[in-house]
Amino acid sequence: MANSKNKDQGFTRQPNPYAQTDGFPVDGKETEFFDFEIKESQRYYDSLTEEEQREYDAGAKELQKRMDS
């Protein structure tokens, strides 16, 4: 084996305590951004007419069906 020398150097991978395992940084700045995005999305939805809201809801349901399947 050509790589037998490098196969096991006795090192083990340690978990990184700063790793972004859930997609959010440890400092929580992303949470503030997403709170803002949620408020803006709700403001947009509230500004739609009832007909537009029905279309929006229908599209959201269709998207959810696609994601679930």
pLDDT in tens, 41-69: 999 999 999 999 999 999 999 999 999 98
**Residue 7 near residue 1, CB atoms below 8 Å:** yes
Euclidean distance between CA atoms 32 and 44, whole angstroms: 19
pLDDT, one tens digit per residue, over 17-39 is 665 555 555 555 666 777 888 89
Our measurement of the distance from residue 52's CA atom to the centroid of its chain's CA atoms, rounded to an integer in Å, reads 27
Q: Where are the domains of the chain?
A: 45-69
Q: Does residue 7 have a pLDDT over 60?
A: no
Euclidean distance between CA atoms 38 and 46, whole angstroms: 12
Element (H, E) at 36: helix 29-47
pTM value?
0.47
